[in-house]
Amino acid sequence: MKYPGPIAKTGCKKFILQNTLIIKEINSIIDNILPKNVNSLSTENYRNLLLKIQNEVNENKFHHIIAFENKNFFDKLFLNNKYFITSVAHIRGVRPSSNEPLEYVGLHRENFYADGDYINHQINIQIPIRNYNVKTSMFYLPKSHLILDSELELKKMDSSFSKVEKFSSGHKIGLSYNPKLIKSGLNRTKLKRVNLQPNQGFAFSTRLIHGGGSNLTNKTRFSMDFGLIPYKKVSKAKSKHFASYSKNNSPYESVSRIN
């Protein structure tokens, strides 16, 4: 498949955020909802609070604002400048390494967990929110978007492994209840951590192998993820995002116009 110029070679591209006010807004929401002793929270309580943060972020459509403010860069990722945005942005909050179940998704590409060709054309956007650095950020494998699906050997696990139940808070904040592990087909010695400055974002193909991201510091790392989908592929995407619900208790549309 053909990849847009900015990400064609490596599968990813850093970009300068045109405004960081939304990051400050999200940090305020985090401070208002999470207690100071966040490391002492049980996995279930922590996931419930992360979901509360995520719901508030989505109600305010902060990712729409980021997409609008950075339109000049995002337009370059789509040949006809027409694209939709995923209705749900995920808030990732990874606490310092502990014996708790994982708080991040393992190495994957998005088509492990989504049906339809549209997902192969989606561009993921990751925005650092707090304590995001090379000791806390996710891993990625440069140029792995070019690896064929048939070259990857996968092993499907279940919720007894992931400690995430379908439609639970963990599922709603983007963790997989039936994760797929990559057993072979990639060179793990080439993995890198995303290295961003506070005013930068990270755009990458959903086919880029990415994930992991154990937190090797003593502070919780926060980031926000959302996707951009070419207009011509939107009709192939699922209509509802049943893992996340708005305040009126109805599932979000899967994708929406940027507004």
Phi, psi of 91 (to 5 degrees): -100, 120
Reported confidence tier of residue 230, pLDDT bands at 50, 70, 90: very high
Residue 234 phi, psi dihedral angles, 5° rounding:
-60, -40
| 57-65: average pLDDT | 96
Query: What pLDDT is recorded for position 81?
Result: 74
pLDDT of residue 115: 85
pTM metric for this prediction: 0.92
Confidence of residue 20 (pLDDT cuts 50, 70, 90): very high
Q: Where are the alpha helices (H) located in the chain, listed in sequence order?
A: 5-8, 21-33, 43-59, 62-69, 71-75, 118-121, 159-162, 169-172
Total number of domains in the chain: 1
Give residue 239's pLDDT: 53
Domain that holds residue 61: 5-256
* CATH code (residue 69): 2.60.120.620
Average pLDDT over the chain reads 91
The answer, yes or no, to whether residue 51 has pLDDT greater than 80, is yes
Confidence of residue 237 (pLDDT cuts 50, 70, 90): low
Tell me, what's the pLDDT at 9? 96
pLDDT digits (tens, 9 = 90+) for 112-150: 999 889 999 999 999 999 999 999 999 999 999 999 999
